[in-house]
Amino acid sequence: MWGWLWGRRGPSGFGAASTAEEVTAGVDATSLTAIVTGATNGIGKETARVLALRGAQVIIPARTLESGLKVKESLAEQVPSAKLHVMEMDLSSLSSVRDFARSFDASHEHLNILVNNAGIMACPYQLSKDGVELQFATNHVGHFLLTNLLLDKMKSTARETGVQGRIINVSSIAHKRSDGTCFELNKLNDKARYQPFIAYAHSKLANILHANELSRRFQEEGCNLTANSLHPGVIFTNIIRYVAANRALVSVVSPVANLFLKSVPQGAATTCYLALHPSLKDVSGKYFADCNEATPTAVARDSELAKRLWSFSEELVEINDADRVTEHQNEAA
């Protein structure tokens, strides 16, 4: 907090007070295509705006086309030159994620940047359509499947263009509340044990482990992709809607909280930094906060746990060869 209040900057030259526009100043992204999940509000919307401002073609997945088109219209007013496309997707539904991936593959030749940003926080106990605790299903499982379905597209893009692809998982400092013993379906789905904030922490730990395991696999395979995770900071956005059920209280607390919390442009800075800044070339498997490398918990750095989470996630989504668009099919197309 004090680093933010006094504008302290880290080795990157940026800090907690830096904005998404500041950290991407001078970057030309006109040749890039990006997907930003959760771009209909909050820091996801600001991330999409700034990527579009720098020239990137930005795909906005939305649960309904109506909500997505409203966001597109709003962003186009701010960035008249924006190249924005809205596509329907509900991250909590595996069939919806598969439909999106198929549609995207058929309609877009390249994918350079995938920002796994969407999330829900501390909601009442619910199961997804696929029978998984809703926070874990939305924040991790949907993104895990989406990423896997798009990997071949990202690999072929990097190979054909020579531009390194980047995957960014938006995690949270809340991951510190997870001990990593949760990655079993009977534990995740146990209503008697359910604690909203702890469940959120489990999903945010999974975001970091997912990025780390992706990075390990990329390095092992030798493909030109990177994967990193981040804590965006504490921002007063729509993600707190389940926590802040008392709207009257929110109206009182919000002006005071905004004096000490990050603004949305500041909250989107680390994501945009990881997505576009040239200094991040070849940087992979790292965790960032305030646009600088940070150290997550020991559990979040556990490579064996990351592998176990990957296997568990594969079981949940039942990935098979039929789900993925193979590199051979991409090349034939």
State how many domains the chain has: 1
**At residue 2, does pLDDT exceed 90?**
no
- Rounded Cα–Cα distance for residues 157 and 280 (Å): 18
pLDDT in tens, 242-270: 454 444 444 444 444 444 589 999 999 99
pLDDT digits (tens, 9 = 90+) for 136-167: 999 999 999 999 999 999 999 999 999 999 99
pLDDT at 331 over 60: no
pTM: 0.90
Q: Are the beta carbons of 271 and 150 closer than 8 angstroms?
A: no
pLDDT bracket for residue 236 (50, 70, 90): low
User: By the 8 A CB rule, do 228 and 164 touch?
Assistant: no
pLDDT, position 284: 98
Tell me the mean pLDDT in the region 25-47: 98
- The pLDDT, as a whole number, for residue 194 is 97
Confidence of residue 239 (pLDDT cuts 50, 70, 90): very low
Is residue 228 within 8 A of residue 284, CB to CB? The reply is: yes
CA–CA separation, 56 and 276 (whole Å): 10
Which residue among 194, 200, 242, 273 is the active-site one? 194
Predicted confidence (pLDDT) at residue 221 exceeds the cutoff of 70: yes
Q: How far apart are CA 254 and CA 257, in angstroms?
A: 5
Q: Taking 50 as the threshold, does the pLDDT of residue 329 lie above it?
A: no
pLDDT average, residue stretch 84-100: 98
Residue 125 catalytic? no
Asked whether the predicted pLDDT for residue 322 surpasses 50, the reply is no
Rounded CA Rg of the chain = 19
CATH number of domain containing 62: 3.40.50.720
Mean pLDDT within 113-135: 97
Q: What is the 3-state secondary structure (H, E, C) of 56-87?
A: CEEEEEECCHHHHHHHHHHHHHHCCCCEEEEE
Residue-number span of the structural domain to which 211 is assigned: 2-332
Reply yes or no on whether the pLDDT at 333 is more than 90: no
